[in-house]
């Protein structure tokens, strides 16, 4: 998950600013915690006095209902009362993973080439809001790497205004991963599949915005929600220094180095029709970086990610719930630095990504989901040397069935405890450039077909 950072030039001064921002933001949450009960920061379910199904499709995250999207955009500040409740939450995910054929190498130290069971992750959250300020900070134990690391961060300040005769919600989000602040289940941070495991094989190629900056940058985004219909957002992301990343459990060697700030833009239109709603949007990320944090060439790679997304939800009376989510990303790569370092023959390449999925839930308890995905683009014999066809192309689909027994009204274990048990099946029709013998060693795309049984609990 963790991939990019800013170089060591003026790192002490930059780290001072970053630490001030982080300590100020998290400290503000802690300050709310430390004051009288009227200013407490509880976990979200207890804070709002609502069952999980009020905010989440299928009574479990991360896919949000219209109510859940409003709660997030309003800075996580909605409260059911002023009584103090504990602000700390936890989460854990465990998996059993079986691939159609044994993987060439074990997916992690201490695991087998097939039939692995592991704790994927366990996380602790500080989460809540009061007045005009709210957010969450997540610290995660990575079960396969056996280490603690910082994870998603989203701290917000919000207010309402009347601009040009329009009711506008204005907000700022300090976060550490582009798209983690988004409220629709279309963009990469919260997109389908909503859970996976590092035990599972996956394609080599992915767009920059799909995960490469997660937890190794810090961004400040300003957004406006106009008349509950039009959403606009603009932000800038900067890399974090190697020393800072080491201190928060991220390996700097798995990151690159943004040259200056990377702009992020987002716009979306949402329309509600009673028990259903639709959304159409666009987003963009522009980044210049030194690959592998190597500044020796004096050159950078430039990435432009341009995307479109759309979603549809039918919530009805809560008995039958349907969702449809989609996104398309076109990435333009200008690889001056990688070419100078001997990593690619071609300077100019393109990469595309598509993700479409649908789900059905009965009474927010029993669910089935299906999704199709694809990555394709220009080939290169150096950049994609592990592919027999020198191509980034991969495609397939995902099927999932799950049950969430404790997310409805009057849950037997209380509003803090929720559990989802699910079964996933991932099918690859093309993997790293080909359907058959994709690596020149006789391995086929279908060898990576994966069956996963998972247990996901939140408390």
Lowest mean pLDDT among 168-177, 386-395, 405-414: 405-414
Q: Quickly state the pLDDT bin for 22 (edges 50, 70, 90).
A: low
Residue 350 has pLDDT above 70, yes or no: yes
Q: What is the CATH number of domain 11-458?
A: 2.40.160.10
What average pLDDT score do residues 45-58 get? 84
**Which residues lie closer than 8 Å to 243 by C-beta, 6 or more apart?**
11, 15
**Contacts by 12-19, CB closer than 8 A, 24 or more apart:** 14/238, 14/241, 15/240, 15/241, 15/243, 15/244, 18/218, 18/240, 18/241, 18/244, 19/244
Q: What totals of helices (H) and strands (E) does the chain contain, helices first?
A: 6, 17
Quick one: pLDDT at residue 413?
67
User: Per-domain residue ranges for the chain?
Assistant: 11-458
Helix, strand, coil percent content, the chain, rounded in steps of 5:
15, 45, 40
- Distance of alpha carbon 147 from alpha carbon 112, whole angstroms: 20
Lowest mean pLDDT among 120-134, 235-249, 400-414: 400-414
Length of the chain, in residues: 459
Residue 69 has pLDDT above 90, yes or no: yes
Sign of CA dihedral 71, 74, 76, 80: negative
Could you tell me the CA-to-CA distances from 400 to 181, 196, 422, 429 in Å, in that order? 25, 11, 7, 17
Quick one: pLDDT at residue 130?
85
Q: What is the pLDDT of residues 227-243, one digit of tens each?
A: 999 999 999 999 999 99
Does the predicted TM-score (pTM) go above 0.85? yes
Quick one: pLDDT at residue 82?
78
Cis peptide before 381 (omega within 30 of 0): no
Residue 141 has pLDDT above 70, yes or no: yes
What average pLDDT score do residues 164-191 get? 96
φ, ψ for residue 247, nearest 5 deg: -70, -25
Quick one: pLDDT at residue 34?
38
Could you tell me the CA-to-CA distances from 306 to 7, 206, 311, 350, 352 in Å, in that order? 26, 14, 18, 11, 10
The encoded tokens of residue 81 equal 């009362």
DSSP string, 364-430: TTEEEEEEEEEEEE---TTTTTTSTTS---EEEEEEEEEE-TTSSSS-TT-TT-EEEEEEEEEEEEE
Q: Quickly state the pLDDT bin for 11 (edges 50, 70, 90).
A: very low
In the predicted model, what is the mean pLDDT of the chain? Answer: 89
Residue 28 has pLDDT above 50, yes or no: no
Quick one: pLDDT at residue 53?
87
Lowest mean pLDDT among 66-70, 236-240, 337-341: 66-70
- Distance of alpha carbon 383 from alpha carbon 8, whole angstroms: 27
Radius of gyration of the chain (CA): 22
Which residue would you say has higher pLDDT here, 140 or 459?
A: 140
- Name the one residue in this structure whose structure tokens are 């990593």: 343
What average pLDDT score do residues 276-285 get? 98
Quick one: pLDDT at residue 20?
52
Lowest mean pLDDT among 12-26, 35-49, 204-218, 234-248: 12-26
* Contact assessment for residue 67 and residue 78, using Cβ atoms and an 8 Å cutoff: no
Which residue would you say has higher pLDDT here, 83 or 165?
A: 165
Residue 15 has pLDDT above 60, yes or no: no
Q: What is the pLDDT of residues 116-130, one digit of tens each?
A: 999 999 999 998 888
Residue 201's SS3 state is: coil
Burial-class residue 393 by CB neighbours within 10 Å (0-12, 13-18, 19+): buried
- Name the one residue in this structure whose structure tokens are 């190629």: 205
413: which strand partners? none
């Amino acid at each position: 998950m963790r991939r990019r950072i800013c170089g060591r030039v003026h790192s002490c001064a930059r780290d001072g600013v970053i630490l001030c921002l982080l300590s100020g933001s998290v400290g503000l949450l802690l300050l709310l915690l430390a004051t009288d009960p009227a200013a407490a920061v509880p976990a979200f379910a207890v804070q709002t006095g609502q069952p999980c199904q009020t905010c989440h499709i299928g009574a479990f995250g991360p896919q949000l209902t219209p109510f859940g999207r409003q709660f997030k955009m309003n800075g996580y500040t909605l409260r059911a009362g002023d009584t103090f409740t504990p602000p700390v939450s936890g989460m854990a995910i465990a998996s059993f993973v079986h691939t159609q054929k044994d993987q060439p190498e074990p997916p992690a130290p201490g695991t087998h080439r097939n039939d692995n069971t592991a704790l994927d992750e366990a996380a602790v959250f500080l989460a809540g809001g009061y007045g005009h300020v709210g957010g969450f900070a997540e610290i995660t134990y990575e079960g396969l790497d056996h280490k603690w690391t910082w994870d998603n961060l989203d701290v917000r300040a919000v207010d309402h205004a009347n601009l040009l005769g329009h009711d506008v919600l204005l907000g700022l989000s300090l976060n550490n991963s582009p798209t983690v602040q988004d409220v629709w289940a279309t963009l990469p941070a919260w997109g389908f599949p909503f859970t996976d495991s590092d035990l599972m094989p996956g394609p080599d190629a992915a767009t920059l915005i799909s995960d490469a900056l997660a937890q190794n940058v810090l961004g400040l985004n300003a957004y406006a929600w106009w008349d509950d219909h039009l959403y606009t957002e603009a932000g800038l992301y900067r890399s974090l220094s190697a020393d800072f990343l080491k201190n928060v459990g991220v390996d700097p060697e798995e990151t690159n180095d943004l040259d200056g700030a990377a702009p992020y833009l987002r716009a979306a239109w949402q329309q509600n029709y009673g028990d259903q709603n639709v959304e159409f949007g666009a987003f963009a990320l522009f980044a210049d970086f030194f690959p592998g944090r190597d500044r020796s060439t004096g050159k950078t790679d430039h990435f432009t990610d341009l995307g479109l997304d759309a979603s549809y939800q039918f919530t009805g009376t809560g008995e039958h719930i349907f969702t449809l989510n989609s996104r398309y990303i076109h990435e333009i790569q200008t690889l001056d630095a990688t070419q100078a370092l001997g990593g690619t023959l071609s300077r100019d390449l393109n990469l595309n990504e598509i993700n479409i999925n649908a789900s059905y839930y009965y009474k927010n308890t029993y669910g089935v989901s299906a999704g199709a995905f694809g990555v394709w683009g220009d080939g290169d014999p150096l950049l994609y040397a592990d592919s027999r066809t020198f191509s980034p192309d991969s495609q397939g689909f995902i099927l999932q069935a799950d049950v969430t027994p404790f997310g409805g009204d009057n849950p037997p274990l209380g509003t803090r405890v929720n559990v989802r048990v699910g079964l996933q099946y991932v099918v690859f029709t093309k993997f790293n450039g080909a359907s058959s013998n994709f690596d020149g060693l006789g391995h086929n795309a279908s060898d990576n077909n994966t069956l996963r049984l998972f247990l996901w609990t939140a408390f």
